[in-house]
Amino acid sequence: MPEYRVNCDDNGLPISVSVPRYAFKFATVNANTLASLSESYLWFSRPSEFNDIFELPTRVSASFTEDQLRAYLRANIAHHWPKFGLTPPTGDALEATLDRLLASNPEFLTESFRYLQDARRDLVRIHCLSMRYDDPLMWAHYADSHRGVCFVFNQASLRPAWIALSVLYRNRRPTANIADVLP
């Protein structure tokens, strides 16, 4: 099987990726697994529901200026507000709204940013697969101590619908900074 390789730049961002032909999913045989097979669906978990508290933790940096927060909200408010049933203001109305909110609640932008980031994280779903079918630890941990099953997926049929990323293990938890995502 070809090896899965991710070449990253100095910031840890992927530059190029080669994907193996097959991916493997270890599972316990239970009602959920049988329903998944009979109804032809896969379960994608929220990262906040993972059983390991050290998987995917990210800190959000609070070291940003009011101008950076305003720029972030200007760029993203039209996308986020409709999710909550709100019609976003535009132009001068947007600036007036930001001014009014800042005057009544100086922490509004920081709180809003954190709330929007939580909402965004809630939209992410992950389906973990392995590149190896013969890993004893995967069989022990995810396939009910070697009593479970291992599903085989052809990567070519999955790629149009999924984004395949390799797990990158780090010694330190990454920190997201709003200034890094501004337009």
Cα 177 to Cα 59: distance, rounded to the nearest angstrom: 9
Quick check: helix, strand or coil at residue 171? coil
- Looking at per-residue pLDDT, the higher value among 165 and 25 belongs to 25
Tally of CA atoms within 13 A in the half-sphere of 145 that contains its CB = 0
Q: Are residues 78 and 51 in the same domain?
A: no
Segment 123-135 shows an average pLDDT of 85
Q: Which of 84, 102, 123 represents a domain boundary (last residue)?
A: 123
Integer angstrom CA distances of residue 18 from 1, 2, 4, 78: 12, 8, 6, 35
Count CB-CB contacts under 10 A for residue 45. 13
Report the predicted TM-score, pTM, of the whole model to 2 decimal places: 0.56
Q: Are residues 52 and 135 in the same domain?
A: yes
Q: Are residues 10 and 27 in the same domain?
A: yes
Q: Are residues 48 and 96 in the same domain?
A: no
Domain enclosing residue 150, as ranges: 5-57+125-180
**Range in 3-12, 91-100, 135-144 the model is least confident about:** 3-12
Q: Which of 77, 99, 123 represents a domain boundary (last residue)?
A: 123
Nearest to 5 by CA among 17, 15, 20, 14: 17
Cα 17 to Cα 14: distance, rounded to the nearest angstrom: 7
Domain tally for the chain?
2
| 51 Cβ neighbours under 8 A, 6+ residues apart | none
Q: Which of 105, 123, 141 represents a domain boundary (last residue)?
A: 123
Q: Are residues 84 and 40 in the same domain?
A: no
Q: Are residues 134 and 150 in the same domain?
A: yes
Q: Are residues 129 and 119 in the same domain?
A: no
Q: Is the pLDDT of residue 81 over 80?
A: yes
What b/e string do you get for 117-134 counting C-beta neighbours within 10 Å, with b at 16 or more? beeeeeeeeeeebbbebe
**Range in 19-33, 72-86, 110-124, 165-179 the model is least confident about:** 165-179
Q: Are residues 36 and 75 in the same domain?
A: no
Q: Are residues 23 and 107 in the same domain?
A: no
pLDDT band with cut points at 50, 70 and 90 for residue 164: low
The H-assigned helical ranges of the chain are 31-39, 66-80, 91-104, 108-123, 136-142, 155-158
Greatest Cα pair distance in the chain: 63
Q: Are residues 145 and 175 in the same domain?
A: yes
